[in-house]
Amino acid sequence: MKLLDAITILFLSLIVSGCSLPPKVESHYDSNFDFSSLTYYRWFELPGDVEAEELMIQRLRNAVDRQMETKGFKQNLESPDFFISMQGFKKTAMLVTGKGPSYQRGTAGGTRKNPSADSLRGRQYRQTGYSPTVYEEGKLTLTLINAANDQPVWEGIATGLIQSDTSPESREQRTHDTIARLLADFPPHH
């Protein structure tokens, strides 16, 4: 097994086993764009035919609004400098851990009367088994779009385990922490 595969399995098993690891965040931006020209923003509205969890959308928007306000940006519905678009996806995934059958060398096995009865020529066969874990993974993408030409200038992506069995307060805090990490490097300083 490659080292990268082992690290990936270890990371996913820690997430699935209940450790509260933060989502992975990354961002990309147009290095030729002057972010100092931005002050006002407006949310891109979701199309009417998109099904979404209203409370989650509101929680995410509130968290983004708070972060934007701390960075000096303000909402302006009439003449924004940029738009914020939000997309979310979730998928069900499975992580399989464990080992398949294994053989051990040795002379142990069997009974005193028939030492080879439970062994296979001095080797013992052992089934260790696999342990599948099903989980949901979510992906949130925030895209900032220049209002002057409708071109994207910044994109942030957060990917992580969806923890649906937590309290509303815990979900609120996790959402706030994820958005703070996602927008930590916005606007980019280049």
**Residue 36 carries which DSSP code?**
G
pLDDT along the chain (190 residues), means of 10: 38 36 88 95 74 78 96 95 90 73 51 50 57 81 96 94 76 89 88
Q: pTM for the complete prediction?
A: 0.67
In a domain, 3, yes or no: no
The span from the CA of 112 to the CA of 151, in Å, is 80
The span from the CA of 81 to the CA of 76, in Å, is 9
Return the residue matching tokens 């979701």. 46
In a domain, 69, yes or no: yes
The span from the CA of 90 to the CA of 66, in Å, is 24
Question: Residue 125's CB: how many other CB atoms inside 10 A?
Answer: 12
Q: Are 181 and 22 in contact (CB under 8 A)?
A: yes
Q: Does residue 168 have a cis bond before it (omega within 30 degrees)?
A: no
- For residue 134, give both structure tokens: 């099903």
The DSSP string of 48-103 is TT----HHHHHHHHHHHHHHHHHTT-EE-SSS-SEEEEEEEEEEEEEEEEE--EEE
Q: How far apart are the first and last CA of the chain?
A: 40
Q: Is 160 exposed, middle or buried (0-12, 13-18, 19+ CB in 10 A)?
A: middle
pLDDT of residue 45: 77
Question: Residue 178's CB: how many other CB atoms inside 10 A?
Answer: 19
pLDDT of residue 17: 33
In a domain, 125, yes or no: no
**Parent domain of 60:** 15-93+135-182
Return the residue matching tokens 């957060």. 158
Q: Which of 175, 170, 166 is nearest to 140 (CA)?
A: 175
Q: Which of 89, 157, 97, 158 is nearest to 128 (CA)?
A: 97
Question: What CATH number corresponds to the domain at position 169?
Answer: 3.30.160.670
In a domain, 31, yes or no: yes
In a domain, 162, yes or no: yes
pLDDT of residue 151: 96
In a domain, 106, yes or no: no
pLDDT of residue 104: 52
Total number of domains constituting the chain: 1
Give the largest Cα separation in the chain, rounded.
92
In a domain, 165, yes or no: yes
pLDDT of residue 110: 47
In a domain, 187, yes or no: no
